[in-house]
Amino acid sequence: YQTFPGTPRWKKTHLTYRIVSYTSDLPRKKVDDAIKRALMVWSDVTPLRFQRVYTGQADIVIGFARREHGDGYPFDGRGNTLAHAFAPGEGIGGDAHFDDDEKWSDINQDVNLFLVAAHEFGHSLGLAHSNVRGALMYPLYSYQNPQTFRLPADDRRGIQKLYGKKTS
């Protein structure tokens, strides 16, 4: 695993998230559920807790967008870049953006929202790309069954280096 330069991380364990826009590929409830489960991937192994907010500011702002969408890192249409997220910090820090030109899915082998979101939230929490094939933070997308997903050891070590282990 790798962290970002300067090892940015949240200095608190209670983080808020807000979903500001949705894809039309999935019912909103399924998007909400995929996002919640993707955050749980990380909160299951650390002391981090996530609370959803519906108005005002949030640490992690989540949205779907196409092409240029206001952050200077335009998406590129169907394929190639699927999503991106920013390292922990004020303002845009922690935010996660998903390319709405992709075909998003919750269960089948189109681009699986849960798997991509879990990866992006790794960035939102301070993990950079891993060169370990099979790690969640490996930059290339590959499908696996979300129902049987388990956080690989490389990612667990990385996130626990930043936030410690979950306390019982």
- Least Å distance, CB 30 to other proteins, is 20
Q: How many CB atoms lie within 10 A of CB 50?
A: 20
Active site residue 68: no
Q: Contacting other proteins (CB under 8 A), which of 100, 120, 154, 155? A: 120
Which among 155, 136, 121, 152 is positioned nearest to 50, based on CA atoms?
121
**73 near other proteins (CB under 8 A):** yes
Q: How many CB atoms lie within 10 A of CB 132?
A: 16
**2 near other proteins (CB under 8 A):** yes
In the numeric block, which tokens belong to residue 149? 């997903």
- Least Å distance, CB 76 to other proteins, is 8
Nearer to other proteins, 13 or 151 (CB): 151
| Ranges within 80-119 binding other proteins (CB under 8 A) | 80-85, 99, 102, 111, 116, 119
Nearer to other proteins, 7 or 51 (CB): 7
Which among 84, 82, 88 is positioned nearest to 96, based on CA atoms?
84
Identify whether the C-beta of residue 126 lies closer than 8 Å to the C-beta of residue 48.
no
- The HSE-up count of residue 1 (CA atoms within 13 Å, CB side) is 22
Q: Contacting other proteins (CB under 8 A), which of 79, 134, 144, 153? A: 79
Total residues found in the chain within this entry? 168
- Among all residues, which ones are annotated catalytic? 120
Binding site residues, other proteins, CB under 8 A: 2, 4-5, 73, 75, 79-85, 99, 102, 111, 116, 119-120, 123, 128-129, 131, 133, 139-141
